[in-house]
Amino acid sequence: MQCKSWLAVLAVIISLVSCQSNSNSAAERSFILSANMDSSVKPGDNFYQYVNGGWLKRAKIPPTEAATGTFYNVLDTTKARLRSILDSVSSGGQTQGSVEQLVGDLYAAGMDSGTIEKLGYEPLKLYLAKIDSFRNVKDLMAFEAYMNLQNHSYVISFGIGADQKNSRMNILSLGQTGLGLPDRDYYFRKDSATLALQKAYKAYIVQLLVLTGVNPAEATKESEAVYALEKEMAGSHRTNVQLRDPQSNYHMIKLNALEQTTPRIGWTNIFTQTGVHLDSLDIAQPAFYKKLNDLLASVPLSTWKAYYRFHVADDYASDLSMAFVNTRFGYLKLLNGQDSLKPRWERIYAVVDQNLGDGLGHLYAKKYFPPEAKQRIVDLVNNLQAALRDRIGKLDWMSDSTKAIAKDKLQAFLKKVGYPEKWRDYSRVSIDRGHYFEDLVSCQKNEYQYQLSKLGKPVDRTEWFITASTVDAYYNPTFNEIVFPAGILQSPAFDPQADDAMNYGGIGMVIGHEMTHGFDDQGAQYDKDGNLKNWWGKSDSARFVAKAKKVAELFSRFTVLDSLHINGELTDGENIADMGGLVIAYNAFKMTKEAQDSTKIDGLTPDQRFFISLAQIWRMLARPSQVRTLINVDPHSPPMYRVLGPLMNFTPFYDAFHVKEGDKMYLPDSSRIRFW
Ligand SMILES: [Zn+2]
């Protein structure tokens, strides 16, 4: 399992706005612009507004975007660089089979809109014919296996990764799947926004069925049946809060026992067809597969055919003619509020990133991440690690014996910065400019074989789970590692020309956040070797759980949009990480020369600059439908509360901005949550 990091959702969203210039010299640059602030707001009333109010008033979300803000600007810089790389490698003349050729030709093939348009949905016909020929459940499951081989799954979803309880070995895990709406709750909520979305989703099913040749009356009937089938599956799904408990989402089972409990699925056939050899596996959410086993008997074959027809078309819609692209966009924009489709280059860049991401990351890192940059970050990470070690030593709620184990875990962190030691082998991928669809299938088959090659083998701890150019970071509990790719190690999160207050409040906070994930309500359940194994003293554990509950209660009180409030249980791990990240980054900052000699810069004390930097990096303006979607599915709190929640509980912030009783952010000293 991989704990997706703080920006997981942002990272897949790509923006259009050109980057703000960062080419000025250090002397000319100011890292805090008063025009971005709002001095009419008292810092102690709403520090996020105080720091970002001016910017929020002026900010305009580009029509192709769901949001704008600091990390969107970072993404803009990265995208502009990647676009220049793509333009260069796609101009031709690359050595056949080289990363440059594969990346460049896939991009060129995707940009060839004329050829793609002419094909319409021709590339899908092979799959649609297979679906039409289903005679029984066995055929249906054979199709599922066939699609799995090209890395597409519908009702059987398996992943290969470290065993949660034997973290040095790779195993296969089965997860709940099968839905088209963002998660199970969308099928059951009855508020007007959700009802509108359900209606739009059904209409989208009709549209895609019609586009693939089904007559409208038939398509409308099938859409209802497909939706009803998904709703049945959704009923067996665990909620996103239930999924956060690693112990109850782990069930090792022998293959023959799995066959007995869910015989209609025909696991042995599926595994034979997909090249999987195993005796036992982890079935993470067994209820879903029991339900699937029942539905295979009770739901008519005609509904299953419509289900696959729609989902295959949906999966590939972005890779087909504009009729498909626009139909899909028409539905998705209800989820995130974008007004218009991104330009072609940006959509194809995203496809290249998704399918040959390590190749693109390789080209990016070679050009934009010099070894000096790496050393500065490694130093910062080490300072933060020392600060957390020191904090653990001083915790008043943890026993000495548990502290010793926590420190061992911290010491054992694997630290990855910039880019991987070795790059993915794409020698089995073949890319030809005239055949975009086949190119994608080649990438996807290669991806499947790559994942399969890990099964039953020792874990390769050098592997990265995001690419070098990604604007994101993560903690991975089974590796006990923190990972910071080149993409996020740039201004304004990290700027070699900025003072320490800015960098510790920026990337320092990010690093501290990821470190704290090793000790949040999920991460704390894994030991230093990445095994799901309790290492806590009994009363330490009880105090930990009580603190985590307090954090959840605090965040559940924040109302974001009309009556929609933060789900404190869903966001608990991220909020704990934000609170810990703040403390660790601040403590590490206090060890720097700037913090110690307390000279003001631009009239601000070092502490004030640190807190302002932290509030600046979370600056974001999002469309209401995007906010609503994120509140429902994103384990991160909305940006404003990622600033307010942690600061309300942090006394040095009160001191730096003279926060007093009566100010809206004020909490009495005895009510402030002191965690890590
Ligand atoms: Zn996180």
**Which of 611, 609, 590, 574 lies closest to 386 in space, CA to CA?**
590
Name the average pLDDT for the chain. 93
pLDDT at 5 over 60: no
Q: What is the rounded CA–CA span in Å between residue 322 and residue 326?
A: 6
Distances (CA, A) of 444 to 126, 441, 575: 17, 5, 35
> What is the 565 CA–ligand 1 centroid distance (Å)?
20
**Which class is 6-20+36-81+357-671 in CATH?**
alpha beta
Distance 306 CA to ligand 1 centre (A): 38
CA distances (Å), origin 527, targets 92, 476, 536 = 50, 12, 10
Q: What is the mean pLDDT of residues 270-277?
A: 98
Residue 371: pLDDT band by 50, 70, 90 thresholds? confident
What CATH architecture applies to the domain 139-300?
A: Orthogonal Bundle (1.10)
Domain boundaries, given as residue ranges, for the chain: 6-20+36-81+357-671, 139-300
Spatial neighbors of 323 by CB under 8 A, at least 6 apart, are: 120, 211
In this prediction, residue 376 has a pLDDT band, given cuts at 50, 70 and 90, of confident
- Name residues whose C-beta falls within 8 Å of residue 216's C-beta, 6 or more positions apart in sequence: 206, 210
Assess contact for 44 and 662: CB atoms under 8 A: no
Share of the chain above pLDDT 90, in %: 92
Output the CA–CA distances (angstroms, integers) from residue 301 to 141, 222, 305, 311, in the order listed: 12, 12, 6, 15
User: How many A from CA of 6 to the centre of ligand 1?
Assistant: 4
Rounded CA separation 292/295 (Å): 5
Q: What distance in angstroms lies between residue 657's CA and the mean position of ligand 1's atoms?
A: 27
The lowest-confidence range among 301-305, 399-403, 414-418, 595-599 is 595-599
The pLDDT value given to residue 149: 97
> How many A from CA of 150 to the centre of ligand 1?
31
**Tens-place pLDDT, residues 162-207:** 999 999 999 999 999 999 999 999 999 999 999 999 999 999 999 9
Q: How far is the CA of 511 from the centre of ligand 1 (A)?
A: 10
- Spacing, Cα 518 to ligand 1 middle (Å): 10
Distance 327 CA to ligand 1 centre (A): 33
Measured from the Cβ of residue 133, the count of other Cβ atoms closer than 10 Å reads: 10
Reported as a single tens digit per residue, the pLDDT across 594-635 is 999 889 999 999 999 999 999 999 999 999 999 999 999 999
Tell me, in angstroms, the distance from the centre of ligand 1 to residue 313's CA: 33
pLDDT at res. 18: 26
Ligand 1 center to 77 CA (angstroms): 23
Quick one: which of 289, 334, 197 has its CA closest to 625?
334
Q: How confident is the model at residue 29 (pLDDT cuts 50, 70, 90)?
A: low
Question: Do residues 19 and 615 touch, judged by C-beta distance below 8 A?
Answer: no
What confidence score (pLDDT) does residue 19 get?
Answer: 28
pLDDT tens track for 246-271: 999 999 999 999 999 999 999 999 99
8 vs 602, higher pLDDT: 602
**Cα 390 to ligand 1 centroid, rounded to whole Å:** 22
